[in-house]
Amino acid sequence: MSDQKKDQQPAGLGRRRFLVTGLAAGASLAAPMLWTRRASAQERVLKVVHWKHFVPDYDKYFDKFAKQFAADHKCQVVVDYVGTADLPTAIAADISRGGGHDIFHLNGTGAWLYDQVLVDVSDVAERLAKEFGGFINGAESIGKVGDKWLAIPHWFIRYPMIINRGYFAKVGADWNPKSTWDDVLKAGAKLKKGGYPYGIPFSQTPDANDNLIPLMLSFGATMFDKQGKVDFAKKEILDVLKYGKEFYDQTMTDEVLSWDDSSNNRFIASGKGSMVCNPISAYRTAAKDNPDVYRNLEIVLPPIGPKGRVAGARTMSYGIYNFSKQQTLAKEFLYTMNKEGLAGMEASTGYNHPFLKTLLKKPMPVIGHEPKLNIEQDFHEYVQFVGSPGPMTKTATTMYAKFIIPTMFAEVAKGKAPRAAMEDAEKKLRAI
């Protein structure tokens, strides 16, 4: 997805502890020496465990947002920023001791994973939906468990295709809005022969999930029913695995079997590759590090499969612990944060894509003002989330975490029979 490992810091809370204090209305913020002081018995303190964004300016924006919220609501807001690898541990620690924070950030997971410790936030979701034209399709599958909203989907990261148009032109290949996965396979074969392979990870890394799940769904190769129960569409899964084997053999090199989330960024930005499926981090990296490559890069929608066009996304949601002593204040924080979603999108340089429909009005911040990114304004029309066509259940989330789908594709790429790989994946999924 990005070079976010550069921004991660050592494990544990306290990577950056930020305390802001709301005094009387209109009063200035507390001096730095007061940021770590103990709150008075009467003063409300709201604590947030927050994913450390791979765009540092977004965390700076969130600091300012927290300061303003604290001032407006005469409270303190403490934000602990935690790297990707450490976030589940930080949440588990809170749950284990029944305290520590009030609000927590769900990075790539839905409410189902933590349904036993989440507060019903249906009133917040309904308030936002009423004021902002509702949520996009699929949002309920992330935030609702049964008939209750237990988390508020705040934004998602888009996974478009990034191609080097110059390389396509060199080998006489094309990519257009009507391109199918079969068309892309044929073009990729030409590109690999010309020395410009594709790069889709078949490895145990989150980007592999976010690349391969949309491919499967575009073939109708689902693993769940609409209720979220395991239900393999076996013919379609075999079809997409056979396609994946052709795709690997004809368009890629074996390096994709061991990639991490930063590998595809380097692959396209360096000028080595002709196509990746990745957030715009790779595009931004090339703009900074390799202008000659950047000039030839284009952001394009995913190809069309037998069941249509499906785009991938990684979701970001927020929930409130049911042991929080500040649940009312926490709900107001979630409402205000989502209400100001466009400011967050701008601060993230266009990464954060909102779920609320009114916030999708064109031109959107950043992506609506950069010609090469304009196409991403319609991305939500094609997005399907983990667990589709059902909700993002514990089983679906665990499937993602255990890399069951990338493992299945990698095994077939290395020579395992598609049916055997599919049956192994089904066993793993039913064992969860």
Q: What is the pLDDT of residues 223-241, one digit of tens each?
A: 999 999 999 999 999 999 9
Please give the pLDDT value at position 5. Answer: 40
DSSP 30: P
Q: How many CB atoms lie under 10 A from the CB of residue 363?
A: 11
pLDDT score, position 15? 38
Which residue in 17, 157, 18, 10 sits closest to 83, CA to CA? 10
pLDDT tens-place string over residues 95-116: 999 999 999 999 999 999 999 9
pLDDT of residue 1: 62
The confidence score (pLDDT) of residue 40 equals 54
Edge to edge, the sheet with strand 161-164 lists 198-199, 275-277, 161-164, 297-300
The pLDDT, as a whole number, for residue 42 is 60
**Which portions of the chain are predicted below pLDDT 50?**
3-37, 41
* Span 113-128, pLDDT tens digits: 999 999 999 999 999 9
| Strand 275-277 with 198-199, pairing | parallel
Helix (H/G/I), strand (E/B), else coil: 127: helix
Long-range contacts of 172-175 (CB under 8 A, 24+ apart): 175/275, 175/300
pLDDT at 59: 97
Q: In sequence order, which residues have a C-beta less than 8 Å from that of residue 383 and are 6 or more positions away?
A: 136, 137, 138, 156, 158, 310, 311, 312, 313
